[in-house]
Chains A and B, each alone.
Chain A
Amino acid sequence: MELLGNHKILKPIITAFLAIMILMSSSIAMGADTKITATKTQLRALFIQKIPKYVLWPEQEDPAKDSKEGTPYTVATIDKESLLPYFNKPESFKLVRWPVANCQVLFLDSKNPRVIAAIIQRVKDKPILTIGQNPDFMRMGGIINFVESGSRMKLQVNICAARKAGLTISSKLLKLSEIYCGDEKE
């Protein structure tokens, strides 16, 4: 133990470390809150599953055309793992990883804005509803963008990009969103 004697400082450090851990373990979790809350990812996933109801695809592309029930919408995304826990209705939505040959909705959740721009370039003339979460998404030619406003999520809709893609956005969705044509706010 003589060697430990060289480390008089060691003991208080270990003691302090353990004390901190015990202190922190006794901190009490906060009580329930009446406001409806959601994490960003969860809220975006919910929006992605609501928005298609307010969008009309060209007839041959619309999954709702076949039957009353409709075939599921194919939603392509880059980070599939993070959305997967919130997509639990396989009869309505099929979540796949981009790139895919066919999809109706494309959620561009890449952190790299240049990747987002490159993918938009590729799909902008196809009937694919591009959804993003980037401040430049409207300028890049994306169709629907999530923006944070305080502690709420707001929607931006680029009607010119939608028109180019052959998609019709319902007036209800437009009423709840900020409307853009490319860079310009309408």
Chain B
Amino acid sequence: MILFRKAIFAFFFLSLFISGGILPFYAEAAEPDSSSLEQLDLEGLLDVEVISPTSRKQSLENIAGSYTILTEEDIKASGAMSVPEALRVVPGVLVTRMDTNKWAIGIRGFNGMFNSKQLILIDNRPITSPFYSEVIWSNNDLPIELVKRIEVIRGPWTSLWGSESLNGVIKIITKSAEEMKGTQSVTVVGTDGVNQMIRQGGEILGDGDFMVYAKGGYEAGKSYKVKGESHKGSRDLVKGAAGFRSDWQNAFTDQLTVQGDISASSITEKSPPGTPFSADRDKKEYGGYAQFTWDRATGIDSGMQFRTSYTRSATTFDDLDGISNTVDAEFLYSAEQFGIHLMTFGAGGRYFWDSFDQGKHVKVHNDKFSRMDVSAFAQDKMTLIEESLFLTLGLKLDYSGKGKLSPQATARLLYTAEEDEYWLAASRATKTPSNWAREGRYEVRFRDKRYEVDATGGLDSEELTSLEAGYRRIFSDNLKFDLSLYFNSYDKLLTLSYDEDTRIATPTSSLCGLTYGTEASIDWKALPRLTLRPSVSLSNQDFTGSSINSPGFSPPLNSPIYDLRLQALIDLADNWDLDLFGSYLNSMDNTELTTGFRLDTRLAWRPVPNLSLELIGSSLLSPVTEGNFTTEPSGSLRVIWNF
């Protein structure tokens, strides 16, 4: 075992070393001679031929925080067919497929589905369910081809995004209607099933653009290896969705956007062990939303935005059927730079109401539930030294229904020079426990005994005090390095307290402990046709208490883990790309963990500019460790046709 781990490490660093050896010969591709160009007059300049730069320009993020951006190209290269799959390449983010339509996502040493500690937004609309604090992915099946960018922000940014973003924020930004003109068809056929998406975009009313899409798919269902044994997951997922987006420009500075979608799915649910709340029967779910956004630019960093949305979804957990509705609205104002200050203000509110059909196994205390949340924030980015030293102070006040006012504060310092930047951050964040924790009544198994979970109320907010630091450097136009360190102290985390006599498990705010670790990543165009993106994440958790590994509320992993990832993007020939992604996750103390070794591949061919054929292989290597949850390999052919 140890030998194997050493081999993995050796391979990882060897591949870095080998490419490093080749690098110096290609370090700087020469720019065109500038002295002869400078002597040209205006007429001469009009005759100069424009060429593409040989190297890709790297830029620093200019943000005092730990940050990864996935562009449209990055998402395509990863071969991801859904948003959770695309997140796999992001350092510090753990993604586990728990069933055909269920994903557990965690940031920095946490994982799990319910009461998750990160906020996920699509076009600024939170898709994390306010009742469960979980993303119900079957109702948020956004076609990945509509995504323009995914921003993953690790660490507490509750001072901006509020209580739900305790461990981080995942922002999914979709393309504007203007960027989706014409018709696109995406067909996926593979061992997992078939999927078809078609979208059509065009102009509307002079300065406007529209886009409509529809998609449908069938997945037979996979087998999962849980603690070394093979189990079948849910079968026969049939899903369909349709959506639209329309953008209008007004006086060039304003953009008005109306967007929405509806989706429905049915599945024969029999989740593999370890996945909470399997219905063990046929179930149907549906969801949809509509959103209006008004966005005005008034300068480089200044502007204002108003957003309002309505979301409805019908979900089933085991035999509990629920319908939830959310209406929200928010206003953001970014002022012009005023002296040393760059101020941003925001205020928002959300009202949600849920109704339930009680099940036999899973119940909630109240058949009907509703809550009103309001919040307001202010942030000031102060320029202490022109163009190099910035201090950001932020404060958000969250008020949720009967709860108390919870302040979320942060102070962030950024020093930026020409080629490198350093940052430091201190934050204090709190998270209101999900209503599910207060309301849910169900059975759990703990140490081979059954317990009835029953909330008696009186839960405190989860608390986090966090210190972070980071360093980024651009070594050349082809090489960028990013390092972040964090030290998080958690208090009053939600956990279950088990009473062996009464066999009752009570949610309590009693778990406390530390997590600390680092993420380091390199983005390196090693050769004109090869880009390498190695990354290492190390995370250690130190939580005490007997019920740490109990099921429930997205608990800390409580095991030191290391996670190596290497993405290689290879431009094989004109119109041929080969992209490889390998990752290795393991614990340093032999605790059973989610995955072992993983390899994803993508071979793409564009025979004509508007047609691309991709062979995508996912989870190609079976895990060596008897990891506790892994999926079987799959292969697909994806055909993207623009016409």
Spot the interface stretch: B43-51, B64-72, B192-200.
B43-51
Our pick among A27, A39, A82, A154 for the contact of B51 (Cβ within 8 Å) is A39
Spot the interface stretch: A6-14, A57-65, A67-75.
A6-14
Contact status of A118 and B530, CB under 8 A, knowing A18-B18, A36-B37, A38-B37: no
Question: 9 extra interchain contacts, Cβ-Cβ under 8 A, other than A6-B624, A82-B57, A114-B303?
Answer: A3-B624, A24-B528, A25-B25, A25-B527, A42-B34, A114-B253, A121-B253, A153-B46, A176-B42
Q: Which of A43, A47, A110, A148 has the most CB of B within 10 A?
A: A43
Cα-based distance from A81 to B57 in the complex (angstroms): 10
Say how far B413's CB is from chain A's closest CB, in angstroms.
21
Whether B48 lies near A4 (C-beta < 8 A) is no
Spot the interface stretch: B292-300, B320-328, B390-398, B502-510.
B292-300
Whether A38 lies near B50 (C-beta < 8 A) is yes
Residue of B nearest to A6 (CB): B624
* A-side contacts of B45, CB under 8 Å: 43, 46-47, 50, 153
Residue of B nearest to A79 (CB): B59
Interface string of A156-179 (1 = CB under 8 A from B): 000000000000000011001000
Contact status of A114 and B527, CB under 8 A, knowing A10-B621, A17-B15, A151-B50: no
Residue of B nearest to A172 (CB): B42
Say how far B108's CB is from chain A's closest CB, in angstroms.
29
Say how far A148's CB is from chain B's closest CB, in angstroms.
7
Interface string of B23-53 (1 = CB under 8 A from A): 0011000011010111011111111111111
Q: Does A155 contact B (CB under 8 A)?
A: yes
Say how far A86's CB is from chain B's closest CB, in angstroms.
7
Q: How many residues of A contact B (CB 8 A)?
A: 60
* A-side contacts of B37, CB under 8 Å: 36, 38, 42, 46
Contact status of A21 and B49, CB under 8 A, knowing A42-B31, A50-B41: no
Q: Does A140 contact B (CB under 8 A)?
A: yes
Q: Does A99 contact B (CB under 8 A)?
A: yes
Q: Would you list 6 pairs from A and B whose C-beta atoms are within 8 A, ordered by A residue?
A: A13-B599, A86-B34, A114-B303, A119-B299, A151-B50, A153-B50
Whether B252 lies near A21 (C-beta < 8 A) is no
Interface string of B603-633 (1 = CB under 8 A from A): 0000000000000000011101000000000
Cα-based distance from A11 to B597 in the complex (angstroms): 14
Q: Is the interface of B mostly helix, strand, loop or mixed?
A: mixed
* A-side contacts of B387, CB under 8 Å: 97
- Compute the total of residue contacts between A and B using a CB distance below 8 Å: 156
Whether A7 lies near B46 (C-beta < 8 A) is no
Say how far B411's CB is from chain A's closest CB, in angstroms.
25
Whether B3 lies near A3 (C-beta < 8 A) is yes
Whether A39 lies near B624 (C-beta < 8 A) is no
Contact status of A152 and B47, CB under 8 A, knowing A27-B529, A97-B387: yes
Interface string of A25-45 (1 = CB under 8 A from B): 101000000011111111100
Whether B297 lies near A14 (C-beta < 8 A) is no
Cα-based distance from A7 to B620 in the complex (angstroms): 10
Whether A17 lies near B252 (C-beta < 8 A) is no
* A-side contacts of B46, CB under 8 Å: 152-155, 176
* B-side contacts of A39, CB under 8 Å: 31-32, 50-53
Q: How many residues of B contact A (CB 8 A)?
A: 66
Q: Does B170 contact A (CB under 8 A)?
A: no
Q: Does B22 contact A (CB under 8 A)?
A: yes
Q: Which of B36, B300, B303, B530 has the most CB of A within 10 A?
A: B300
Residue of A nearest to B601 (CB): A13
Whether B48 lies near A38 (C-beta < 8 A) is yes
Q: Does A78 contact B (CB under 8 A)?
A: yes
Cα-based distance from A4 to B297 in the complex (angstroms): 57
Cα-based distance from A116 to B299 in the complex (angstroms): 8
Q: Does B580 contact A (CB under 8 A)?
A: yes
Report B245-296 residues with CB < 8 Å from chain A CB: 249, 251-255, 295-296
Residue of B nearest to A53 (CB): B42
Whether A14 lies near B11 (C-beta < 8 A) is yes
* B-side contacts of A54, CB under 8 Å: 42
Residue of B nearest to A14 (CB): B11
Q: Does B385 contact A (CB under 8 A)?
A: no
Q: Which 10 A-B pairs have the closest CB atoms?
A: A117-B252, A114-B297, A118-B297, A3-B4, A25-B22, A39-B53, A117-B253, A118-B253, A37-B51, A37-B49
Cα-based distance from A150 to B620 in the complex (angstroms): 44
Our pick among B40, B251, B624 for the contact of A46 (Cβ within 8 Å) is B40
